[in-house]
Structure 1
Amino acid sequence: MARDVSDATPIGARSELVDWVASGEKPRDTWRLGTEHEKVPFYTADASPVPYDGESGIRALLEGLQARTGWEPIVEDGHPIGLLDEVGGGAISLEPGGQFELSGAPLKTVHETVRETAQHLVDAKAVAEKLGVGFLTLGMSPLWTRAETPVMPKARYRIMTNYMPKVGKLGLDMMYRTSTVQVNMDYESEADMVKKLRVSLALQPVATAIFANSPFTDGKPNGFLSMRSEIWRDTDRDRTGMMDFAFDDGFGYEAYVDWALDVPMYFIKRGAVYHDVAGASFRDLFAGKLAQFPGERATQSDWANHVSTIFPEVRLKRYLEMRGADVGGPDHIAALAAFWTGILYDQGALDAAWNLIKNWSAANRNGVRAEVPRLALQASIGGRSLREVARDALELSRAGLRRRAFLDETGRDETHHLDYAQHIVESGRTPAELLLEKYHSAWSGSVLPAFRECVF
């Protein structure tokens, strides 16, 4: 996330929260996709973690990128913590353990997001290489313990760090040691949002399986193909998961708002100061009854910031965020963007995807969600292997992209960006499985070769 919102406009009624979500509606011809990815930095000389401070630290990396790109620095308490492209709309931000995130601009085509990622990597590597820094293409830091992992100077992360152990066993690993790629998608109406949310929730384990890429922790195999995905299962049950209620009759903006109101808060921000209210009720703030700040009323920025601290498999803000995939290299990132664009931005593909998943029960959906971190494409749902379902989903996505018919400068449509994912499904071997094969053969039981081979 780029930075927390500052809008002190008071919220007077629950309907304003519903209206905030509804304000995300956009006509079909203005739909865009935004691709975000995180990556773990490391020192190339010795595969050690990169701290915030120091001549070759994260701060120096941000300052070098600011000088190269001209993007505006985002500063907190005197510390640069990100960069903002005020013209294009993209941003760079820091995750808690120094994971370097590009939050891409809203773009029309997968071709454009591929070019955006490529330009970002050119810029980031040009600065990083002078500092002796590289970036991993893995969904989890493979070597360092949590204690060895750097901590970034962001107040919201201090609050979350204190709270996470109270609500789950693995929340700190989520914060400090994982890296994801997500795609943000638009909707044109409440009904369109509901259908897209249901389809993407049901198919999120398919994306987790195809893009599984986090098999190592603490220098050895962790027993999972997507450990990043497994970590989310024991992070904080109040704000994560498959959102079964989204499949209830009558679900819409109001039901989502009511759920979000009951998710415990982390903080409220007043001016530049983050106030720790972790575990408190947004409903109490909304009513002016928050114990820590009696009489204080919720503002628009309180709501926007609160919604950004909810982490289901698909998140609704004023767009939909696909949150199920481990990060990987550029082709991996492009394929995820293509996968969701083909399914969600073509009506025929969306309708067919609904027919694919509509008979799955909550037990089906939660069962495959529990299986997929360990089994990936070998998991099953509704009596079918997830590999079969993934093959069907890719076919729907490819047809949707073909009908979109957005061509690049060479005359190719967006379908070729799916080839990476198609190869995984046809071979039945995820990125994680290929890495494990290397670990047990060419890598001789060491993860250190990952710092040469699994890099941007």
Structure 2
Amino acid sequence: MSTRKASGQEDDPFIESRDQLAAVMQRGEKPREAWRIGTEHEKLVFARRDFHAPSYDEPGGIRDLLLQLKEFGWEPVEEGGKVIAMSGQDGTVSLEPAGQLELSGAPLETLHETCAETGRHLDQVKAIGESCGVGFLGLGMWPDKTREDLPIMPKGRYGIMLRHMPRVGTLGLDMMLRTCTIQVNLDYASEADMAHKFRTSLALQPLATALFANSPFTEGKPNGFLSYRSHIWSDTDPHRTGMLPFVFEDGFGYERYVDYMLDVPMYFVFRDGNYIDAAGLSFRDFLKGELSVLPGELPRESDWVDHLSTAFPEVRLKSFLEMRGADGGPWNRICALPAFWVGLLYDQAALDGAWDLVKHWTMEERESLRTAVPRLALDAPIPGGGTLRDIAREVLSIARSGLSARARLGASGDNETGYLAPLEEIIDSGKVPAQRLLDKFHGEWNGDVTRAYEDSF
């Protein structure tokens, strides 16, 4: 989730017209040569001595972990006198609600740079982990922890969200406390390009969920799902999640997304370093100066940017597009997600080809696929017959073609297609990551899910 930094009022104007809302997204438009790749990945942090999730304050806990990043040139970001993130050339390292550690990477030109950034980060946190006695687990969800087992991190927005989640769904606290994801942030050239990429990636998001499905355990036992993390979103908050049918309607663009976001209830307003609880209130009222917690005050642009970060659909629009469908995973699969989406979305022929595969699906069929994938992954039925597995190889072939056409070479002269190898291996084997974990659980682990910690990094 986003790490808020205070901005000066001189570069944070009041919003006085609706045009300013769409302008935030419009400013994201970039020529193709300026398109970049931003990769975010979260990790579960555990104490090696007993596998507990470290608290913020305990010796060797999350605060100490963050502060030791100063050894590698990172600088602290504070809220209320507490370090909540570290900022550096490779982006931001921040803490999620229960201490999951996230790298929000810098916007980079090639997958080679992205994977190098990921490698640097993991080398750094592993070195620090050795001194703090902690390890890092690449899964989509804690395999054994209850909600009560997990600490809460000292970020103001989290307190507001934790109070609000039970009012609107049964699984929102699990989303905040027990899950991990990998995300990719990508650019667009124009409103039409944004809409084309949004539709294509939203329709294919269930395939990414299936390929990265990696959360089959809850509290030590199989939960009946391959991506329980994905299922959790189905009962988190219906006002701010889902497949967004309007994206597939004729005329979809910035204005329609503004309408959607204005109907998403607020969580908070950030003022003078503090979060003011505005959960359930309307940004439309804020625009009229009628927000009950700040009567008479109009929103600033930063308030709108904050609000854009509080919707959680499968694909999210801010001043870039966020791909949000994948479970967290080990290092060797992190780079595969940006490779998948860059290959499909950053080459025009690949983008058109991917859309041609799914454009005839009805909204009901898309919703049905989204619902089936958390349990069935690649065995989920697709419109027209067959399963997701039947189109997975074709989609990866399109992504490979897109990466080949980009022709972005690494230091050894190789292009970016090699980063798709983990996904191609999944399709060849017929088993997604969660199915391999279940095989271990029922086999060599002898029903002991804590054996998952042996595969930490």
Class of the TM-score when normalised by the shorter of the 2 chains: over 0.9
Aligned ranges 1:308-387 → 2 under 5 Å: 308-382=309-383, 383-387=385-389
Which of 430, 441, 444 does residue 442 from structure 1 map onto?
444
Worse-superposed segment, 295-304 or 382-391: 382-391
Cα deviation for residue 370 of structure 1 reads: 0.2
Matched, 1:45 2:49: yes
Match of 1:393 in 2: 395
Cα deviation for residue 89 of structure 1 reads: 5.5
Write out per-residue CA displacement over residues 342-378 of structure 1, whole angstroms, 9 at most, x where no aligned residue: 0000000001011011101101110000000000000
Partners of 1:286 and 1:269 lie apart in 2 by: 16
Aligned AA for 2:38? G
Matched, 1:64 2:68: yes
Cα deviation for residue 409 of structure 1 reads: 1.4
Cα deviation for residue 129 of structure 1 reads: 1.0
What is the aligned length?
452
Aligned ranges 1:174-253 → 2 under 5 Å: 174-253=175-254
Match of 1:35 in 2: 39
Partners of 2:302 and 2:386 lie apart in 1 by: 44
Partners of 1:392 and 1:237 lie apart in 2 by: 32
Match of 2:85 in 1: 82
Match of 2:3 in 1: 3
Cα deviation for residue 141 of structure 1 reads: 0.6
Partners of 1:229 and 1:425 lie apart in 2 by: 20
CA 1:73 to 1:156, structure 2 compared with 1: closer, same or farther past 3 Å? same
Write out per-residue CA displacement over residues 50-87 of structure 1, whole angstroms, 9 at most, x where no aligned residue: 11112111000011112x122221101111010111xx
Assess if the C-alpha contact under 8 Å between 2:403 and 2:415 holds in 1.
yes
Cα deviation for residue 296 of structure 1 reads: 1.3
Match of 1:428 in 2: 430
Aligned AA for 2:429? S
Aligned AA for 1:420? P
Aligned AA for 1:219? G
Match of 2:120 in 1: 119
TM-score in terms of structure 2 length = 0.98
Assess if the C-alpha contact under 8 Å between 1:107 and 1:113 holds in 2.
yes
Matched position secondary structure for 1:46: coil
Partners of 2:272 and 2:430 lie apart in 1 by: 51
Aligned AA for 1:220? K
Write out per-residue CA displacement over residues 165-188 of structure 1, whole angstroms, 9 at most, x where no aligned residue: 000000000000000000000000
Matched position secondary structure for 1:381: coil
Assess if the C-alpha contact under 8 Å between 2:90 and 2:117 holds in 1.
no
CA RMSD of aligned residues (A): 0.9
Aligned ranges 1:401-420 → 2 under 5 Å: 401-420=403-422
Matched position secondary structure for 2:50: coil
Aligned AA for 2:27? S
Write out per-residue CA displacement over residues 282-324 of structure 1, whole angstroms, 9 at most, x where no aligned residue: 0000110112221111111110000011100000000000000
Assess if the C-alpha contact under 8 Å between 1:225 and 1:433 holds in 2.
yes
Assess if the C-alpha contact under 8 Å between 1:2 and 1:82 holds in 2.
no
For structure 2, the 5+ residue unaligned runs are none
Matched position secondary structure for 1:139: coil
Identity of paired residues, percent?
Answer: 55
Structure 1 moving runs of 4+ over 2 Å: 5-8
Assess if the C-alpha contact under 8 Å between 1:2 and 1:92 holds in 2.
no
Assess if the C-alpha contact under 8 Å between 1:2 and 1:84 holds in 2.
no
Aligned AA for 1:4? R
Partners of 1:25 and 1:89 lie apart in 2 by: 23
Assess if the C-alpha contact under 8 Å between 2:2 and 2:309 holds in 1.
no
Aligned AA for 2:370? R
Write out per-residue CA displacement over residues 115-139 of structure 1, whole angstroms, 9 at most, x where no aligned residue: 0000000111111111110000100
Cα deviation for residue 384 of structure 1 reads: 2.8
Partners of 1:64 and 1:110 lie apart in 2 by: 28
Partners of 2:321 and 2:5 lie apart in 1 by: 18
Which of 18, 24, 41 does residue 28 from structure 2 map onto?
24
Partners of 1:5 and 1:263 lie apart in 2 by: 23
For structure 1, the 5+ residue unaligned runs are none
Aligned AA for 1:19? A
Matched position secondary structure for 2:448: coil
Aligned AA for 2:152? V
